[in-house]
Amino acid sequence: MSLINEIYNESPTKAKSRLKIIDNGFNLFAENGIDFISLANIAEVSGITIRNLYRYYSSKESLITDIAYYYISIFNSANKITVNKELNGYEQLKDVLEKQIEHKLLSDNNHVILSFIAYFDIYMTKSNVEHEDIKKYINIYAPRLKENVREGTKLSLIQGVKDGTLNIKMDEVDCYVGYIFHSLMSLLSRVSIKHYDTDFQKFDYVQKHIDVILLHLKK
């Protein structure tokens, strides 16, 4: 059973059709941005009429939030962040940010999903938070998305406080977790929609941001 079918509990045939719409919408949004793609464009690529698409999604908001939930869930599951408990707190954080985040999340396999996340982030900042489907994402979907990058960062920060290798206090951990997670994911997703002459430029740009974080936190 797919993540989406857990929400809708549909017949196999209808669930397959819904996933086809989600897949096609995802590819169009990731390549072109959300503002420039309509439900009619997605219906055409999916080989169905707009009236048929409305049987599944009556608004662009309902479709885009389902796409986000489905693909970000897959993205998180495929990119588990593990903490090396044999290292001290600073070394754990360095390992999480450099090896786990930079090299894993900037791989070619993640380019399309990171592009989508960038466009989705922009879309959400402009959306009406009172819209029924936007509230559904915030209240139902978002809490289900386990942010393993955030969890790994928090574990390493806590260890750094305990062993004295990081220059922060325990009551500051959550604040730094939020900053590190959101700033890096925002940077990673935006880097993915820009064009660089070489992969080295892309990695070097992110590495400089990581270096600043580590320099600030190291005791």
**108-148: pLDDT as tens digits:** 667 788 889 889 988 998 888 899 999 988 888 887 776 66
Helix (H, G, I), strand (E, B) or coil at 218: strand
Model confidence at 5: pLDDT above 80: no
User: Which architecture characterizes domain 70-217 according to CATH?
Assistant: Orthogonal Bundle (1.10)
Per-residue confidence (pLDDT) for residue 191, from 0 to 100: 73
pLDDT in tens, 7-23: 788 888 999 999 999 99
Smallest CA-to-CA distance from 40 within 16, 61, 60, 55 is with: 60
| Per-residue model confidence as pLDDT tens digits over 174-207 | 999 989 988 887 787 777 776 555 555 667 778 8
- With beta carbons less than 8 A apart as the criterion, state whether 43 and 78 touch: no
Query: What fold is seen in the domain 3-63?
Result: Arc Repressor Mutant, subunit A (1.10.10)
* Residue pLDDT, tens place only, 69-121: 999 888 877 777 788 999 999 999 999 888 766 656 666 667 788 889 889 98
Place of tokens 């996340």: 117
Residue 2 confidence (pLDDT): 63
Sequence-ordered list of residues with C-beta below 8 angstroms from that of 52, at least 6 positions apart, any chain: 43
User: What is the C-alpha to C-alpha distance for residues 113 and 192, in angstroms, rounded to an integer?
Assistant: 9
Please determine, for residue 59, whether its predicted confidence score (pLDDT) is greater than 60.
yes
Element (H, E) at 31: helix 12-32
pLDDT (0 to 100) of residue 136: 87
Q: Which of 33, 30, 56 is nearest to 43 (CA)?
A: 56
Enumerate the β-bridge partners of residue 218.
166
Domain positions in the chain are 3-63, 70-217
Q: What pLDDT does residue 197 have?
A: 53
Give the model's pLDDT for residue 147.
Answer: 63
Average pLDDT of the residues in 36-60? 96
